[in-house]
Structure 1
Amino acid sequence: MVSLNRRQALRAAALGSTALMTAACGSPFASGLAATPLEPGQVAFWNLWSGGDGARAQTIFERYRAAHGADSLEATTLAWGSPYYTKLSLSIVGGRPPDVAVCHLSRLSNFARAGLLTELTPSTLAGAGIDGTQFDAAVWRSGLVDGKAYGLPVDIGALVLYYNTDLCRRAGLLDASGRLKPIRSEVAFRAALAATVQAGARWGLVSPVIADPSSNWRIFDTVYTQMGGPPLLGGNGTRITMDDRVAAESLRWLRDLTTAKLSPDTATDVTSVSLFAAGQSAFLVHGAWQTPTVTDAKVPFSLAPIPQLFGRPAAFADSHTLVFPRKDPAGDPRRALGFAKFFLENTDVWAQGGSLPVYRPVLDSAWFRGYEPVASTTPTKDIAIYDPPAWYAGAGSAMQTLAGSQVALARQGLAGPDEAVRAIRDALAGYAATPSPL
């Protein structure tokens, strides 16, 4: 195993936001610290996709192998979240990284600013027939770090609004084409929930509350931002810029939905989807990635972007990006970029998981424009909000866990809104005061 100096070890642990020992005690993994040499012409690709995403990724992998040879790709799937990011950073600082890896856009700046990724200059991309204009402009801009590109965005996975078409029709909420009529205010939204309960729904709305800090964070961040709240963090995580008043008001509004008996405060990630799939709730607020599960349940449903209930349209989102770990000495990037381009060209497969493709040849295709109900969420790309940059923020991070846990308590009535906001500020203060170890 390649030995790491203390700074390298701290950097890897910080990027993963987990204990270094957790990663070090795992079994050896391909193309990493205990890697074996790759076959000539083979691309090593690391990802964190399991379940349905893993199956769709495997379809793309097999297409690539069919086009380039059975041994052209070594794809390695690792555990989602902090363990994945710790192992990825360890492989880079240890000098044995994969050629290409998946990185959430919300974590991209951490890796880029730590000097662990290869910059994708216009000339480098041009050599593989790739250009920034081939991607949705808003997502491409969101992925730039200090104006430079370090990753190729694959998708947008955002909070969306699922609605039961039978219940909403009975409540008079659908237009002549069978789509949800626009909901343009908080008052209209509450009225819509109440109307569906009157029409026979057990609940107007379900969403994860119990034992799911990340979902609570996503919902809170959406409402808080719509109410005009600034990002919770500033200065790359060195300052807490949360507006305490707006944060408390957003928690108060979320709690009011449960006290009004319009939404349960006991749903988990699984039971929220199950209640909707069983036809017991007219609406579900969840990630677009639940679309296959709801589809398989055979419940009559469609999708819509999260409605603008307050002053600013917003919906929490994150994106998978394809990144190219730094290698010393640097090699020829064309093989790795060729695989990345192939993956992007096949994101029609990826879109079947519910997320929006952002590679314009797929996003603008006639196929995707007719791919309902996922295509109905296309406006989400223009209202997407990502986690603020910080070494302790991003997908599966300490910030999401700490803030989301307090949001859950407030939504259950186990903590008052002001109390929860103070706890969020206190929990993040130590991280903000700690210099980035990257």
Structure 2
Amino acid sequence: MKLFTKLATATALTMGLSTSAMAQVELEWWDFLAGGDGVRMKALIDEFNAEHPDIQISGTTLEWGLPFYTKVRTATAVGQGPDIMTYHLSRLPLALEEDVLTPITDAEMGAAGLSKSDFFEASITAASTDDGQLMAVPFDIHAVVAYYNKTALEGTEWLGEDGNLTGIDSIEDMTALLQWAKAEGFSDPLSFQSEGGGGTWRMFYTLLRQQGGEMITDGEVLAGDNMDKAVKAIQILADWRAEGLIPEQAAYEASVALFSGQKAVMHINGVWEVPTFKDSAADGSLGFDWFANEVPQMLDQPATWADSHAFAIPNNPNMTEEEREAALTVIGWMQQHSMAWADAGHIPAYKPTVDSDEYAALEPNATYASLAENAAFDPRSKIAGVASPVYDAVDNLIAPAIHGFLSAEDAAAQMKDQLQGLMN
């Protein structure tokens, strides 16, 4: 609780007033969280409000993706943005160009009971400018993981005695597993959202980064041998598709259903689907034992596509000092209660939560928490991140190449040309 709040509370009690009669700081909150994420965040907001009669959050959930960020940009431009909001760190480069966020100082972090060292380095880097100025406070690291059918893999060379995946150290190893699953009757052995930019981008980028590849370097798209690495990543997925090892243009919901319906032995998707499979297993509708691991290292180095939900304070000239202090109090409280957010499958960015005994008992989260050290965030560019031109290029070029409509070489070359024209 802030100093001014303590003093106000003491004064009110001395005068015989209830704290509910005190002036409240009301914070307008915007987020883009729907489904299970939204339920959990609303519960956290309700708990915060109950504990803080001096600060009350009024929450609004807006449409995810481009509509959210367009609303933030236009509202901030006219001084009508929220006091605090959720933000994807992959969108930070564009936010810096549009000047929609305010910096958060080390002193302000301290006032919120936090320091940069409390967070995983990859998330703090993604939340900061190139010269180290913090622009948002990470709340989680959300990445893709490998969900798998433990029942089907029981007794095979790909399931260790500890119940974790094993023996998948190369593309060839993964291909062998998928070919075995195909022969065992799994029609689409590895499911993911294969029709568009979300799932396809995450698969492509994971394979690119596992080669040490970079999408954008020094303002150039796929410079040098990054082009060859991009072609290889696309070709791996195209070869799997040609063998019938991944589904033909599966929509998001269909890709999840393929795994739940035992048409796929493995499913690569975000950690946010952990509650889905937990709930299905609990009510008996899943029909098999499942688990999730970090996506196996199949190429030169461990890497997994990742992003972070973060808390940010918009560049609102009308914001008062009391409102800013209250927003920082909210941010600090949320980090200290981030175990509730971990229940949604996310890896908290706040390391004290991940290092806790309670988190260590949370599975499969504790097992795949290792990926926080191998998190491959989207390129730091105004054209990258959620609902960006990079995602559009994947929709229009990489996904068709995976499904045989153009070559991997042509897809990579056209993507380079298309995106390079947007860099200036």
TM over 0.5: yes
Q: 1:168 aligns with which of 153, 158, 161?
A: 153
Q: 2:259 aligns with which of 276, 283, 293?
A: 276
- 1:287 matches 2:278: no
Partner of 1:33 in structure 2? none
- 1:315 matches 2:304: yes
Partner of 1:7 in structure 2? none
- 1:361 matches 2:344: no
1:32-431 equivalences in 2 (<5 Å): 40-69=24-53, 72-146=56-130, 147-210=132-195, 212-230=196-214, 232-235=215-218, 238-242=219-223, 243-298=226-281, 299=286, 300-328=289-317, 331-332=320-321, 333-431=324-422
The offset of 1:200, in angstroms, is: 4.2
The offset of 1:56, in angstroms, is: 0.7
- Asked whether the 8 Å contact 1:168–1:174 carries over to 2, the reply is yes
- Asked whether the 8 Å contact 1:163–1:283 carries over to 2, the reply is yes
Q: Distance in 1 between matches of 2:249 and 2:83?
A: 44
The offset of 1:296, in angstroms, is: 2.8
Gap runs ≥5 in structure 1: 1-38, 434-438
Q: Distance in 1 between matches of 2:211 and 2:325?
A: 45
- Asked whether the 8 Å contact 1:214–1:401 carries over to 2, the reply is no
Q: Distance in 1 between matches of 2:279 and 2:261?
A: 11
- Asked whether the 8 Å contact 1:201–1:281 carries over to 2, the reply is yes
Q: Deviations over 1:231-272 (max 9, x none)?
A: x2234xx43234222211211111111222322223221111
The offset of 1:202, in angstroms, is: 3.0
Q: Secondary structure of the residue that 2:25 maps to in structure 1? A: coil
The offset of 1:424, in angstroms, is: 0.8
Kindly provide the amino acid, as one letter, of the partner of residue 164 in structure 1: N
The offset of 1:363, in angstroms, is: 1.2
Q: Deviations over 1:263-283 (max 9, x none)?
A: 222322111110100112111
Give structure 1 regions of 4+ aligned residues with deviation exceeding 4 angstroms. none
Partner of 2:20 in structure 1? none
Q: Distance in 2 between matches of 1:169 and 1:199?
A: 13
The offset of 1:170, in angstroms, is: 4.4
Change in Cα spacing, 1:68 to 1:41, as seen in structure 2 (3 Å) is same
Kindly provide the amino acid, as one letter, of the partner of residue 384 in structure 2: A
Change in Cα spacing, 1:258 to 1:241, as seen in structure 2 (3 Å) is closer
RMSD: 1.9
TM-score normalised to the size of structure 1?
Answer: 0.85
The offset of 1:73, in angstroms, is: 1.1
- Percent identity between the aligned chains? 28
Q: Distance in 2 between matches of 1:329 and 1:80?
A: 26
Q: Secondary structure of the residue that 2:265 maps to in structure 1? A: strand
- Asked whether the 8 Å contact 1:215–1:404 carries over to 2, the reply is no
Kindly provide the amino acid, as one letter, of the partner of residue 254 in structure 1: L
Kindly provide the amino acid, as one letter, of the partner of residue 315 in structure 1: T
Kindly provide the amino acid, as one letter, of the partner of residue 302 in structure 1: F
- Asked whether the 8 Å contact 1:171–1:196 carries over to 2, the reply is no
Partner of 2:12 in structure 1? none
Gap runs ≥5 in structure 2: 1-22
Tell me the matched-pair count.
391
